[in-house]
Amino acid sequence: GVAGAVAVFAVERMVKEGAGFAIVENGGDIALKIDRDVTVGVFQDDERFRDIAFRIPEREGIFGICSSSGKIGPSVSLGRTSISTVFSDDVILADACATALGNLIRDGGQQEMSSALETIGKKEGVDGCVSISDGLMAMFGNVPELIRAEHKGIKASSIVF
């Protein structure tokens, strides 16, 4: 929750100062206030899902897209997902739930992923969640459109969000 808290507090300050568009990424946890559609690349290590991104439509208020990985980055995870991502209007909740989702997926099997996604996705305040593990991708709830992350020769997955 700390990284998400730092990100949301920074965006709240920018909005207080008059920003209509602000994005802060802190260790895989993103707080956003957007006045137009944006594309958020998914940085993970599974080549089968290389160059994917989420198209995030313009929306009101500050919200979060937070991720956890058992394979990438310095943070400790008890699970072994390439990435687990949670979408919520509550950035701190999204951060905590992304960590929990990643921790719940240890063997990466379809049944375990499905159960973990349902457990996290049904929590009050969680809009949706996605996980990639051992060649499988699973989603639950309201998840933004998944797209190829290449635009004019720039691959969004090469931009660490």
Instruction: Read off the pLDDT band of 161 (50, 70, 90).
Output: very low
CB 42 within 8 A of CB 63: no
CB 129 within 8 A of CB 152: no
Domains of the chain, by residue range, sit at 37-55+63-158
Pairing mode, strands 22-26 and 29-33: antiparallel
Mean pLDDT over the full length of the chain = 86
CA–CA distances in Å: residue 36 to residues 29, 46, 57, 109, 157: 20, 30, 7, 37, 20
| pTM given for the model | 0.88
CB 21 within 8 A of CB 36: yes
**Superfamily designation of domain 37-55+63-158:** ApbE-like domains (3.10.520.10)
pLDDT tens, residue by residue, 16-67: 999 999 999 998 899 999 999 999 877 776 677 678 889 999 999 999 999 9
Q: What pLDDT is recorded for position 160?
A: 38
